[in-house]
Amino acid sequence: MVLLLGAFYLLSRYAIHCTWVTSEAYSSPSIVLAARGAHGQRVIFDDYREAYFWLRQNTAPDAKVMSWWDYGYQITAMGNRTVIVDNNTWNNTHIATVGRAMSSYEDEAYDIMRSLDVDY
């Protein structure tokens, strides 16, 4: 009986721990990130939202931005700027071209960006 109660206790503690880890790891939206500091305090990283605000305020309304496709919809919605690729991944050619630019040496990447008419 003691063994059964001990097993039940350990399994319930494990379930509580898993719930806590999941809430910490997966409850943070991708634009505003949360973490724990060295002393356990909650730290908020608002860098993406600040960057999108900067784009909106400091670039021309018709500017074209090249980023990896993950951030395309966020830049379009929050930065109000045109992107080369976004989360609609149907255009594999553009995604491959952007990937090639991001993995190339600067002079080759510059030529690729010019061919795509990229401003930022």
List, for residues 7-22, the tens digit of each pLDDT value.
889 989 998 988 888 7
Q: Is 63 exposed, middle or buried (0-12, 13-18, 19+ CB in 10 A)?
A: middle
> Residue 78 above 90 pLDDT?
yes
Q: What is the dihedral of CA 80, 81, 82, 84, to 10 degrees?
A: -120
> Residue 89 above 80 pLDDT?
no
Query: Which has the closest alpha carbon to 112: 65, 90, 100?
Result: 100
Instruction: Label residue 95 by pLDDT band (50, 70, 90).
Output: very high
> Residue 116 above 90 pLDDT?
yes
What pLDDT shows up at residue 27? 62
pTM over 0.85: no
How confident is the model over 19-69, as pLDDT tens digits? 888 777 666 557 887 788 899 898 888 899 999 999 999 999 999 999 998
